[in-house]
Amino acid sequence: MKSRIVKVVKYFFDNGNLTVDQIKRYVVVGTLTADEFKVITGEDYVVAEEASDGKTEEGDSQPAE
């Protein structure tokens, strides 16, 4: 059985109120799993590659090494 959050996010996605990028943020913060992302969007969740400016596709700053 799908969790309530999956049902709610899928409803908003299916009705055009959420984008794939917005749903990716739910995975980044741990609200959804990659499997739940696929159930909602029909796409595999792919981890964003780090850009040369030290930011990910989601815009998160990465700590300097």
Amino acid at 37: F
Q: Give 1's pLDDT tier (boundaries 50, 70, 90).
A: very low
Q: Is 61 left (phi over 0), alpha (psi -120 to 50) or beta?
A: beta
pLDDT at residue 16 in the model: 97
pTM: 0.69
Q: How far apart are CA 51 and CA 58, in angstroms?
A: 11
Give the three-class secondary structure for 50. coil
Q: 7-50 pLDDT, tens per residue?
A: 999 999 999 999 999 999 999 999 999 999 999 999 999 986 65
